Structure 1
């Protein structure tokens, strides 16, 4: 069945191909409108094949900006093997500065394996999982905390049933660098890009490279180093492409686990959140995580929020104004191995 997505790229062709994936989607302003997703394909002989992707969520900018820069800097002669770059995969969300697509409300990272006759987000997810991911050895999907969350920079892989693939995933995770990393246990049926990569037979790599709906010198440098290290480790390039300074040697890597609801604190009513700890802080069960204020009842004192578990603070809500159900802060458990 046709996915309702037009792909101009021939994955077997040598050289450079630039164009747009096109998803037909009729709107009031334009009955024959197309959602146009920029794509670049580079191929130079035999070698590893990698897909680099950002803009899965529209308000996560480190990957979007660095992959756009990579597109401008690379030519086929500078690589060995094949590379596909999707710098702003969820174009409607990127252009609206939102996590999800304003056309259909779709969260691309919860839409896999998709639907070839569904909404634009579902059609894109289906195309990625069935027509693009299977033709790559590695899928790198770059994320951040988005507009509402500050996030400790970290990398991520999914646990694999195949021992050899899991060992290779862990090797690449270490090679990327960074001081913290997750091994997720979402399972083979996960509706995420990492679940899709696993089902497609590719090694999936991801992570949170910043947050706050903005970029900083540190978050951009971390993202550049991660991409450069991965490409160098795979032997696709001979030297760094994005990093402005020589690549430092990767330091110690602390593995983390985030698997229980009790590792987060969630708002139970409307209120205003004041955090008490910084990202990366080591906290104990019962420590104060922050205070919850009620500006509609100024006679009431702020409520102290306590961590139900100890660990490393990995994310914190940036929007002070919060609603019931909003995640306010999370800790992850350090693990060995």
Structure 2
């Protein structure tokens, strides 16, 4: 009663089911409180099984809003197979508009494989990896830069040691028709949803669809198209559901992010002024920006330089920084 997650879902039932995953967590005002994570199942006979999730981080809105639209707009009669939708996976973080859960400080995308007897975030991660992900062929986890990052619109997969499964993951990533896609090397023990999907036997696809802690016309449109394109590519529906139209012709340029040296990090407290934009091509040794110390006005700003060639994938939006903050990332173009 005080551990794990409970639900009453029947994954083999045809039609549309709106329900909740319930995570018990005793709090001051309610000793038998349950965190209610909304979930929607749509099934129409046999076929591919797809899990769509957003709100892994609570301040990344494009996926949350698009999946809420999908819940309302998708008629299960149109579906061939099963679509499971988690619009707000980390509900406490979503409700607090924070990256991590205010209940336990948990970052869901660093919590896998989790613990069924742990904190709420850890219990949710464990349920996803050991129960929900294994029921699906494909897991699509939708992210954006959140309140602290501006991110190049990209699709994402983690490298899979199985060549055929890696090929399929890249194929589905390309099917989203994002302008860029990158392959992350996080290892077999990766604490992310994509690592969990791989360990669960599913093909994991993800992406960064915006940033700045807001939804824009452009980021909503590209997210909606990606969802529609994946649904169509998997044969689950026969046409767009969330967006006005699907996009089939845009080529995806592949990038790789696999080394710590591709990131630029603050080494002390200061204020960062960028010299390049997200999406710019840069070279090793090129000026990335300047680091100011506003508490020491007698000191000149420090010039910071890139360690690697590539394309600027993301930059920190908050100008004030502390030691350890990632200021920029540079992804390496991949020839295929």
TM bin, normalised by shorter chain, reads: over 0.9
Aligned partner of residue 314 in structure 1, secondary structure: strand
Counterpart CA distance in 1 for 2:271 and 2:195 is 35
Cross-structure match for 1:273: 272
- Residue 313 of structure 1 corresponds to 312
Within 2, Cα distance between the matches of 1:240 and 1:316?
32
**Are 2:68 and 1:65 equivalent residues in the alignment?**
no
Number of the residue aligned with 1:333: 332
What is the DSSP-based 3-state SS (H/G/I as helix, E as strand, rest coil) of the residue aligned with 1:251?
Answer: coil
Query: Once the 2 structures are TM-superposed, how far is the Cα of residue 11 of structure 1 from its aligned partner?
Result: 0.6
Partner of 2:253: 254
Return the alpha-carbon distance in structure 2 between the equivalents of residues 2 and 30 of structure 1.
Answer: 13
Q: Contact 1:111 / 1:121 at 8 angstroms: preserved in 2?
A: yes
**Cα distance in 2, alignment partners of residues 17 and 233 from structure 1:** 24
Q: Is the 1:3–1:126 contact (alpha carbons within 8 Å) kept by the matching residues of 2?
A: no
- For 1:64, what is the secondary structure of its paired residue? helix
Secondary structure in structure 1 of the residue aligned to 2:271: strand
- Provide the residue aligned with 1:131 in structure 2: 131
SS in 2 for 1:332: strand
> Can you list the C-alpha shifts for 1:155-189, whole angstroms capped at 9, x where unaligned?
11122222332222121111111121112222222
State whether residues 43 and 83 of structure 1, in contact with CA within 8 Å, keep that contact through their aligned partners in structure 2.
yes
Tell me if the contact between 2:176 and 2:230 (Cα under 8 Å) persists in the aligned partners.
Answer: yes
1:87 CA displacement: 0.3
2:229 and 2:247 in contact (8 A); partners too: no
Question: RMSD in angstroms over aligned alpha carbons?
Answer: 1.4
Which stretch shifts more, 136-145 or 170-179? 170-179
1:24-35 matches, within 5 Å, as: 24-35=24-35
**Stretches of 4+ aligned residues off by more than 4 angstroms:** none
Contact 2:112/2:193, CA 8 A, preserved across alignment: yes
Cα offset, 1:2, TM superposition: 9.2
Q: What do residues 213-238 of structure 1 show as CA deviations (whole Å, max 9, x unaligned)?
A: 11111111110110000000111111
Q: CA deviation at 1:284?
A: 1.1
The worse-fitting range, judged by mean Cα deviation, of 41-50 and 247-256 is 247-256
The reply to whether residue 56 of structure 1 matches residue 62 of structure 2 is no
User: For 1:190 and 1:119, how far apart are their aligned partners in 2?
Assistant: 19
CA drift at 1:3? 5.3
1: CA distance between counterparts of 2:301 and 2:11? 58
Unaligned runs of 5+ in 2: none
Q: Determine if contact 1:20/1:37 at 8 Å carries over to the other structure.
A: yes
Q: Deviations over 1:202-256 (max 9, x none)?
A: 1100011111111111111110110000000111111101112x33333222211
> In structure 1, what is the equivalent of residue 44 of structure 2?
44
SS at match of 1:235: coil
Alignment of 1:131-210 (within 5 A): 131-210=131-210
User: Aligned equivalents of 1:236 and 1:292: distance in 2?
Assistant: 50
Aligned length: 336
SS of 2:222's partner is helix
CA distance in 1, matches of 2:281, 2:95: 37
SS class of match (2:247):
coil
Distance 1:3 1:138, change over 3 A: farther
Structure 1 contact 2–116 (Cα < 8 Å) conserved:
no
User: C-alpha separation between the residues in 2 aligned to 1:256 and 1:249?
Assistant: 20
State the alpha-carbon separation in 2 of the partners of residues 199 and 237 from structure 1: 27
Contact 1:285 1:309 in 2 (8 A): yes
Structure 1 unaligned blocks of 5 or more: none
Task: Compute the TM-score of the two structures, normalised by the length of structure 2.
Answer: 0.97
Is the deviation greater in 187-196 or in 138-147?
187-196
Could you tell me how far 1:104 is from its partner in structure 2?
A: 0.8
- Secondary structure, in 3 states, of the residue corresponding to 1:139? strand
251-260 or 62-71, which deviates more = 251-260
> TM (normalized to structure 1)?
0.97
Q: Distance in 2 between matches of 1:72 and 1:271?
A: 46
